[in-house]
């Protein structure tokens, strides 16, 4: 649980400032659960430069509540939370100072979005809140007012959580939250999970991710883990301390995130997907005059037309191509290269197996398969459903190479490569991601495809 905080002060000498406005949003990683926003009467003079910066003056604060009148509400909304702020050291210090004046010790863990952005957005031109959020396409209103800056910080934090594919932010939080305590009851864990599509992360008491999964219904899938009797389910039940999740909006992004983060984090209970999601492939062997289509276990340095989860699915696709492109079975791993294929006998092969069809003509049909499997455009966006109302997702292909995914508000159009890359959550291009995207395109599960190449 996080408390996104922004504070405006009177300015003045160190530790003598007073709060003039405060905004706090209690956030569970997916939605705002509670909020407070108020002007505050600081009982002290506001520095002129601060008045000019914030637009807050002493007349506006005459009837505002004093800090002691808000203190109980602030404690309630931040209880059990990590304080998140842009330049958190300042906001946290100001809160501690005000509570100290009341004789109360305010203590909390804190996260600074400046430090997180410097780590996760190393190419940013500036880490000042206004410039940073605008570069990311985050709308910001009432700049230098607590509620406006806090909401902008919240949107920035959402992007940082998404970009943190190593899950260092959440893993550290889980470790500190548990601190060798007994894990919560399973029922409470289930109640807090959504019945929506996304990726979920199961952590142990030390904050380590022990399992990553994807589901169209996260609540139902985790419930299966916690009531199952398989060896894996029993291990999860024994080690589980917390479950976090990230909604994806659509299945393709959920699958891309799942395979990418399993490979990066290597959870101990994800044995089958640690290295390859698609371990069988169909490759073109060009070593002979007639090009051969070969089904084999994926070899890292070789290129494949398409990859599959198992040999059965690969062979099924190869047989589909034999029919669709009128190919010769003996020129594939399904047939015998030493004799005429069965298809020739029933007039479904043009005779490549006995030399009746020239290699040039035959190989042209192999080229047709290659062309069919290419992305529709060299540079494009595949637009899909977002995580919430008023939002869309995008998958970015640049020079035929998958770059990653991102989200954007419907009222903020991403029209340039620069704007796209600033919202991008990078994912390594590999055979698994290519197969997932091709399947997504083939099933037409997207809203639209935007060609980014100039006409």
- Kindly report the CATH number assigned to the domain that includes residue 234: 3.40.1440.10
Verify that 137 and 29 share a domain, yes or no: yes
Residue 171's pLDDT is what?
A: 67
Residue 182's pLDDT is what?
A: 38
Contacts of 403 by beta carbon, 8 Å cutoff, 6+ apart: 396, 397, 421, 424, 426, 427, 429
Residue 185's pLDDT is what?
A: 58
Q: SS in 3 state form for the chain? A: CEEEEEEEECCCCCCCCCEEEEEEEEECCCCEEEEEEEECECCCCCCHHHHHHHCCCHHHHCCCCEHHHHHHHHHHHHCCCEEEECCHHHHHHHHHHHHHHCCCCCCCCEEEHHHHHHHHCCCCCCCCHHHHHHHCCCCCCCCCCHHHHHHHHHHHHHHHHHHCCCCHHHHHHHHHHHCCCCCCCHHHHHHCCCCCCEEEEEECCCCCEEEEEEECCHHHHHHHHHHCCCHHHHHHHHHCCEEEEEECCCHHHHHHHHHHHHHHHCCCCCHHHCCCCCCEEEEEECCCCCCEEEEEECCCCCCCCEEECCHHHHHHHHHHHHHHCCCCHHHECCCCCCCCCHHHHCCCCCCHHHCCCCHHHHHHHHHHHHHHCCCCCCCEEEEEECCCCCEEEEEEEECCEEEEEEEEECCCCCCCHHHHHHHCEECCCCHHHHHHHHHHHHCCCCCEEEECCCC
Rounded Cα gap, residues 44 and 336, in angstroms:
91
Verify that 51 and 137 share a domain, yes or no: yes
Verify that 38 and 152 share a domain, yes or no: yes
Verify that 247 and 297 share a domain, yes or no: no
Q: Which parts of the chain register pLDDT below 70?
A: 170-185, 272-277, 411-413, 454-455
Residue 119's pLDDT is what?
A: 86
> Which residue in this structure is represented by tokens 């992360």?
201
Last residue of a domain, one of 144, 163, 182: 163
Residue 421's pLDDT is what?
A: 84
When divided into structural domains, the chain yields a total of 4
Contacts of 436 by beta carbon, 8 Å cutoff, 6+ apart: 252, 255, 256, 259, 277
Verify that 126 and 264 share a domain, yes or no: no
Verify that 84 and 150 share a domain, yes or no: yes
Residue 180's pLDDT is what?
A: 41
- For residues 226 and 190, the answer to whether their CB atoms sit within 8 Å is yes
Last residue of a domain, one of 163, 190, 209: 163
Verify that 144 and 39 share a domain, yes or no: yes
Verify that 158 and 10 share a domain, yes or no: yes
Rounded Cα gap, residues 119 and 268, in angstroms:
26
Q: Which two tokens mark 202?
A: 């199961």
Residue 394's pLDDT is what?
A: 94
Full residue range of the structural domain in which residue 445 is found? 380-451
Last residue of a domain, one of 333, 348, 372: 372
- For residues 341 and 349, the answer to whether their CB atoms sit within 8 Å is yes
CB atoms under 10 Å from CB of 45, counted, come to 12
> How many residues belong to the chain?
455
Residue 207's pLDDT is what?
A: 86
Rounded Cα gap, residues 11 and 17, in angstroms:
5
Give the phi and the psi of residue 294 in degrees, each rounded to 5. -120, 130
- For residues 366 and 352, the answer to whether their CB atoms sit within 8 Å is no
Residues linked to residue 425 through DSSP beta bridges, in sequence order: 405
Rounded Cα gap, residues 169 and 165, in angstroms:
10
Verify that 16 and 144 share a domain, yes or no: yes
Verify that 159 and 172 share a domain, yes or no: no
């Amino acid at each position: 649980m996080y408390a996104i905080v922004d504070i405006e002060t009177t300015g003045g000498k160190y530790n003598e400032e007073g709060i003039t406005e405060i905004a706090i949003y209690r956030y569970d990683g997916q939605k705002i659960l509670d909020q407070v926003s108020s002007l505050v009467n600081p009982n002290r003079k506001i520095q002129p430069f601060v008045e000019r910066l914030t637009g807050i003056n002493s007349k506006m604060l005459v009837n505002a509540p004093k800090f002691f009148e808000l203190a109980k509400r602030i404690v309630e909304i931040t209880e059990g939370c990590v304080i998140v702020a842009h330049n958190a050291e300042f906001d946290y210090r100001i809160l501690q100072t005000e509570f100290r004046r009341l004789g109360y010790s305010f203590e909390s863990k804190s996260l600074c979005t400046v430090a997180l952005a410097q780590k996760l957005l190393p190419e940013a031109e500036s880490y000042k809140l206004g410039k940073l959020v605008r570069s990311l396409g985050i709308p910001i209103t009432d700049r230098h007012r607590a509620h406006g800056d806090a909401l902008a910080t919240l949107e920035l934090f959402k992007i940082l959580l998404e970009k943190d594919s190593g899950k260092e932010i959440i893993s550290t939080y889980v470790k500190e939250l548990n601190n060798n305590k007994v894990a919560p009851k399973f029922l409470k864990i289930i109640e807090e999970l959504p019945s929506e599509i996304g990726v979920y992360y199961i952590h142990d008491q030390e904050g380590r991710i022990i399992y990553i999964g994807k589901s169209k219904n996260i609540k139902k899938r985790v419930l299966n883990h916690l009531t199952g009797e398989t060896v894996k389910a029993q291990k999860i039940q024994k080690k589980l301390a917390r479950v976090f999740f990230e909604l994806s909006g659509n299945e393709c992004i959920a699958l891309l995130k799942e395979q990418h983060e399993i490979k990066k984090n290597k959870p101990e209970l994800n044995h089958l997907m640690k290295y390859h999601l698609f371990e069988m492939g169909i490759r073109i062997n060009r070593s002979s005059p007639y090009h051969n289509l070969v089904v084999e276990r994926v070899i890292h340095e070789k290129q494949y037309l398409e990859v599959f989860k198992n040999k059965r699915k690969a062979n099924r696709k190869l047989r589909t191509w034999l029919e669709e492109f009128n190919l010769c079975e003996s020129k594939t791993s399904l047939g015998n290269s030493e004799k005429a294929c069965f298809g020739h006998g029933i007039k479904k092969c043009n005779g490549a197996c006995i030399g009746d069809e020239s290699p040039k003509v035959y190989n042209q049909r192999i080229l047709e398969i290659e062309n069919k499997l290419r992305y529709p455009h060299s540079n494009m966006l595949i637009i899909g459903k977002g995580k919430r109302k008023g939002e869309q997702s995008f998958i970015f292909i640049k020079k035929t190479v998958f770059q990653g995914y991102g989200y954007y508000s419907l009222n903020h159009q991403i029209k340039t490569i620069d704007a796209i890359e600033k919202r991008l959550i990078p994912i390594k291009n590999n055979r698994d991601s290519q197969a997932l995207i091709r399947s997504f395109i083939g099933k037409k599960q997207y809203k639209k495809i935007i060609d980014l190449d100039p006409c």
